[in-house]
């Protein structure tokens, strides 16, 4: 499985995208065509930017995720969110699926952020879909001190 980590933001937590370009789960990176790998990296950077953008929707999602980390047991790692995304020939994210975040408003915010605009490029025509994206929460070392309480709660 090919994993790509990305991003830092100014919030207490970083939502890092790790993704895999829709080949069978047991496939090795060497088996994944290079255009798929490049596209997965591009999509990961774009998703990261959308999730870290300023705005009410991103703020609502981040508040929910930070609260989720604060209320997790001390020995549990922050939960990952696995998103399956379908991307149209124009680059538009046409559909996303993920397990509920436990709050319909947070679910709607994540869905809205990931489908709000097209990706910078369309996917390779032969790329299998859906694109699987794993979102991980990690403490942001650059977060302001006032917001670091949520980050400190994350292991």
Q: Which tens digit of pLDDT belongs to each residue from 8-36?
A: 243 544 555 555 544 444 445 568 899 99
In a domain, 123, yes or no: yes
Structure token pair of residue 142: 């650059």
In a domain, 101, yes or no: yes
In a domain, 119, yes or no: yes
In a domain, 6, yes or no: no
In a domain, 7, yes or no: no
In a domain, 35, yes or no: yes
In a domain, 8, yes or no: no
- Total domain count, the chain: 1
Sequence-distant (6+) residues with CB within 8 A of 123 are 39, 87, 89, 91, 129, 131
Q: How far apart are CA 60 and CA 86, in angstroms?
A: 24
Domain around 121: 13-153
pTM: 0.73
Q: pLDDT tens digit string along 60-81? A: 988 888 887 777 666 666 667 8
């Amino acid at each position: 499985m090919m994993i790509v980590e990305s991003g830092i933001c100014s919030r207490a937590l970083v939502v890092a995208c790790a993704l895999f370009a829709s080949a069978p789960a047991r496939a090795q990176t060497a088996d994944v065509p290079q255009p798929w790998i490049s596209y997965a990296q591009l999509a990961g950077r774009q998703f990261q930017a959308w999730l870290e953008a300023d705005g009410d929707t991103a703020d609502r999602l981040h508040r929910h995720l930070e609260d989720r980390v604060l209320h997790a047991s001390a020995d549990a790692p922050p939960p990952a969110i696995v998103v399956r995304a379908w991307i149209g020939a124009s680059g538009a994210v046409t559909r996303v699926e993920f397990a509920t975040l436990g709050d319909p408003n947070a679910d709607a915010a994540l869905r809205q952020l990931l489908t709000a605009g097209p990706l910078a490029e369309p996917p390779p025509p032969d790329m299998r879909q859906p694109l699987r994206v794993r979102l991980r929460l990690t403490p942001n070392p650059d977060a302001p001190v006032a917001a670091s309480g949520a980050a400190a709660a994350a292991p």
